[in-house]
A and B are shown apart, each in its own frame.
Chain A
Amino acid sequence: MKRYYQPEIETASPEQMRAWQDERLVKQVQHVWDNVPFYRKKMEEKGLTPADIKSVDDLKKLPFITKDDLRECYPYGLLAKPLNECVRIQSTSGTTGKRVVAFYTQHDVDLWDDCCARAITAVGGTNEDVCQVAYGYGLFTGGPGLNGGSHKVGCLTLPMSSGNTDRQLQFMTDLEATILCCTPSYAAYLAESVNERGLRDKIKLKAGIFGAEAWSEEMRRDIEKQLGIKAYDIYGLTEITGPGVSFECEEQTGMHVNEDHFIPEIIDPNTGEVLPEGTKGELVFTSITKEAFPLLRYRTRDICVLSRKKCSCGRTLIKMAKPMGRSDDMLIIKGVNVFPSQVEAVLLEQGYQANYQIIVDRVNHSDTMEVQVEMTPENFSDSLAKITEMEKSLVAALKTMLGIYAKVKLVAPKSITRSEGKAVRVIDKRKI
């Protein structure tokens, strides 16, 4: 069985990897300098020109780029290739409603697909496999990413998208899917359904690739037991490319970063200073091969640790731990990025005050979101029909802003818990 999708890269010597990174970084810096005024300005502000970046050692000289920068640059401000060379966009929500739109040339799609193909091969996938992709397809990168990787590996790809559990189970059994790709919460739900319907003997699954959401080791073991498979993590973000920025191997002790495309750094989130390997801090990525939407030193806000410890799988790619938290207030609910500020913006626009609380929970392995908001004299009416109508329009506005359903609960004024005079905005009851 093929162990690696691109063995010469995945098991390259550290010197070789470093040489690729040096060369590509230098080229990338020149590319953005030439094509993206935003980057040129940022570099000029720091007194830098492309000549100052000679190798990965100089990476730390470059300014960071943040989600706010992406928002400011929406939609074309960071585009580094003419639109007629771009073939795709993917998108994710931004901090205050403006979405982040990432552009891809065919080259960018190909390298992304390669990254996902490495992940599928790492869990034992070959052209003999049937790969059921139950991530959402669309602007969300989950479906398109794994779909592309599955094609590259040569699996028979089932582009199921998320939801419609009956159909998922029908295809899983009838077409004998061997690899399942979806969010861990949906995997847990499918696992439960498989057992409830007595289908355990009818499924042929051997592995699962589950990402886009935080999940615990306990949840992993539970899914593995229920489906009789090995469950693997995968990491990615739309800004950098999508799933496949890093992926887990058979050792299941962290995710190998595809560092020939994305150079990771760990920084102190407060000072911006680069921290040594093995130290916990904020993960930063530089995409050194992407053409259309290359990000230099993008702050992911994910807190994690990098390690060069030798891996038993033979890959030399640096490993990152499962993210341990965030350095901002972003929540990931049902795989979707949610910022409290987005909720606040909708509430204000709908005539409510910024007194609210977001309650996130996981019920039957699926995330739930409730927004509690205090009733206002202006929105109150003697007519229940009018109030429920306003409530419905708030639910709809939240759905538009966030892309997911949030239950709205209208509560009495001053009933939202405040600690030390400051409202607690988010209560996350999920035990992850």
Chain B
Amino acid sequence: MSIQQISVFLENRAGQLAEITKVLAGEGIDLRAISIAETADYGVLRMIVDDSQKAKSILLDSGYIMSVTPVLAVAVPDAPGGVASVLELLAEGKIDIEYMYSLFTHVEGKAYMVFRVSDEGKFKALLDSHGIQTCGPEVLGLKQ
């Protein structure tokens, strides 16, 4: 089960991030997770939003370069060692992490993390066998 992530190309210039979040805020889009990977000249902004279809059309209309990618949202035990247990599974399975970041959403002893890995199927199987859940949009209250 996966959720939609929005990635946007941003130049590494002052005010770029403020501008895009303002555009989304203006249309009532709620950010649930945000992460940036950057080089000296540019960055990739990755977001989970409450309404990815709407966000997509807003961004395209505003002239941004963007893409929508399915990613895994994992319900990590919200206790010391929670993230470590998931990372250990990845290490055991020799699965590479392309990137990961946290969602702001936080319920009933669970924290949610977004994972993009080299072998999603294998990762899911490992999570299942260890009773760790992945969750779809409805669990996180996302319209996708």
Contact = CB atoms under 8 A, between A and B. Distances in A.
Say whether A associates with B. Answer: yes
Interface of A: 375-377, 380-385, 387-388, 409-415
Contacts of B99: 383-384
Contact of B39 (A377, A382, A384): A384
Interface string B59-88: 000011111010000000000000000000
10 contacts: A375-B42, A375-B65, A377-B67, A380-B66, A381-B67, A382-B44, A383-B98, A383-B99, A410-B42, A414-B63
A380 B67 contact: yes
Nearest to A415: B11
A413 B67 contact: no
Q: Is the interface of A mostly helix, strand, loop or mixed?
A: loop
A411 B42 contact: yes
A370 B64 CA distance: 23
Given A375-B9, A377-B67, A382-B116, A387 B41 contact: no
A382 B46 contact: yes
A262 to B, nearest CB: 45
A411 B43 CA distance: 10
Interface string B39-60: 1011110100000000000000
Interface string B88-104: 00000000001100000
A387 B44 CA distance: 9
Interface in B1-50: 5, 7, 9-11, 16, 37-39, 41-44, 46
A382 B5 contact: yes
Given A380-B7, A381-B44, A410-B41, 4 more contacts: A382-B69, A388-B39, A412-B64, A415-B11
Contacts of A385: 98
Most buried by A among B9, B63, B98: B9
A410 B69 CA distance: 21
B37 A411 contact: no
A412 B5 contact: no
Contacts of A375: 9, 42, 65
Nearest to A412: B11
A381 B42 CA distance: 13
B63 A413 contact: yes
A277 B9 CA distance: 56
Contact of B65 (A384, A409, A412): A412
A382 B11 contact: no
B65 A382 contact: no
Contact of B10 (A381, A382, A409, A412): A412
Contacts of A411: 11, 41-42
Nearest to A385: B98
Contact of B44 (A376, A384, A409, A414): A384
Contacts of A388: 39
Contact of B41 (A376, A409, A414): A409
Contacts of B66: 377, 380
B31 to A, nearest CB: 16
Nearest to A391: B39
Nearest to B44: A384
Nearest to A370: B41
Contacts of A376: 65
B69 A380 contact: no
Contacts of B10: 412
- Which of B7, B37, B65, B99 is packed against the most chain A CB atoms within 10 Å? B65
Closest 6 CB pairs of A and B: A382-B7, A384-B37, A382-B69, A412-B11, A375-B9, A380-B65
A387 to B, nearest CB: 7
Contacts of B64: 412-413
A382 B7 CA distance: 5
Contacts of A415: 11
A376 B9 CA distance: 9
B144 to A, nearest CB: 16
Contacts of B63: 413-414
Contacts of B43: 384
Contacts of A413: 63-65
A377 B59 CA distance: 12
A120 to B, nearest CB: 45
A59 B67 CA distance: 62
Contacts of B44: 381-384, 387
